[in-house]
Amino acid sequence: MIRRKLNEIQEMVKGSGLKKSHEDIWINGVSIDTRTIKDTQLYIPIIGEKFNGHEFIEKAMGNGATATLWDKNQPIPNIDFPFILVEDTLDAIQTLAKAYRNQLNVKIIGITGSNGKTSTKDILFNILQTVYKTHKTLGNLNNHLGVPLTLLEMAENTEIAVIEMGMSGLGEIELLSKIASSDVAIITNSTNVHINDLGSVENILKAKLEIIEGLKPHGLFIYFGDSPPLRVGVEKLDLKQKKVTFGINRDNDYTVKLISSENEGIYFELVGSDSPRLFLSMLGNHQIYNAAAAIAVAQYFNITLEKIQEGMLKIEATGMRNELIKCNGFDILNDSYKSNPISLRSVLDTMYSFKKYKQKIVVLGDMFGTGENEITTHIDIGEEIDPSQIDYVFTIGELGKYFAQGAKTRFPDERVFSFMDKSSLTTKLKEMIKKDAIVLIKGSRILELEKVVDELK
């Protein structure tokens, strides 16, 4: 993590007001949260819609903060404590992160996409760390605060960092990419997942392509070549950087082919190469796309196929994403972090591919952000669920009930259950689960379906 004297911090953020007697004080890391701040960290109070971090300065001090950045428009408390005054603390943490990144001899890999960015990050991190000192985005810290915090957590000797970049509107990925100043940029795909935020598929594609804005002139741009709109969008750009495509179509630079799907992962091969078949310890046939992107980056950094395979044997995946949990007599496939049409259809295919289970149950919650046709979208996916592959369909939520409506066109009523609260859902689930069953839990983050998982364990 960042370790600097306060006079260096003040210079890095272009701040002012630090007393001479405080200049040689060291900080070890930064925090924006007084609840988790550690001794000797720099406190950076953020102003949000419903809170003002400046109001918690005394709590930050009491919990170990060594110093603070401070919005010069906020009243300064009459206390003996190191203050560095800045125009805006959000801008300051982003500026600090960019400055720190530029001080380190580190290669940055930026990843964005409508789906697959977290899985790609996890696969790539596990491969890279077989050879390099590697850092990655923790959890889902992928926004205008998360990316700076991730960069500031890098150890000084980090060789490669894998940085996930999310967005909620136009301009955000451009900002993040310029903060990170990537050596490699990846777009896993571009779909209508953010249609509510951006209004059109064209704007979503435009937002994803913003990752190029921070890509170094001699960097590498890797993108999903099976997407015609993405290919067209890239071709319209006058890019000087090297471009590499991946996918299952033969015209990609990295073409992958699925061999088989097992209960612990997937076997696949690189088409047109002399490589042996490869195994990825992640569930879901769609993971071959994420593996292809990761392999393209790994080979760019001269990692051998032997080391690539070593890295893919045991993926330390981010929680609540295709997470297989062993319970007493049955398994849970926990994919409760988010849900959208593409990821839901993919995980349903994963459920269909399982052969060893004697019972398969899906628990589906609301998909948010699917646009004006959200009800129809839920009904359509419900109608697609295969009754020969799934024994019971459980749904939860105002939109989730439309999955049930669609499912009942193919399932008898006694195999479809719809609920509005987690407690009733969990009670019924416990009644229905048999030995050697697998239960999929899938829904948008706001539903907190991980609580259902916890109750079932």
What angle, 0 to 180 degrees and rounded to 10, lies between the N-to-C axes of helices 228-235 and 201-209?
Answer: 50
Known binding residue 252? Answer is no
Helical pair 172-180 and 89-103, crossing angle rounded to 10 deg: 40
118 is in an annotated binding site: yes
Q: Would the CA dihedral through 19, 22, 24, 25 be positive or negative?
A: negative
Annotated binding residue 36 = no
How many Å apart are CA 455 and CA 363, to the nearest integer? 14
Distances (CA, A) of 83 to 8, 37, 72: 13, 17, 10
Integer CA distances (angstroms), 190 to 194, 445, 457, in order: 10, 20, 35
Q: Is 369 annotated as a binding residue?
A: no
Give the span between the Cα atoms of 420 and 400, in whole angstroms: 9
Task: Tokens 């088409």: give the residue.
Answer: 271
Pairing of strands 220-224, 184-187: parallel
**Cβ count near 228 (within 10 Å):** 8
**Rg of the chain on CA atoms, in Å:** 24
Q: Binding residue per annotation — 216?
A: no
The answer to the question of whether 319 is labelled as a binding residue is no
Count Cα atoms within 13 angstroms, Cβ side, for 446: 8
The letter for the amino acid at 365 is: G
Please answer whether residues 247 and 292 qualify as being in contact, where contact means their C-beta atoms are separated by less than 8 angstroms: yes
Residue 119 labelled as part of a binding site: yes
The token pair at 449 is 């379906």
Annotated binding site: 113-119
Annotated binding site for ATP: 113-119
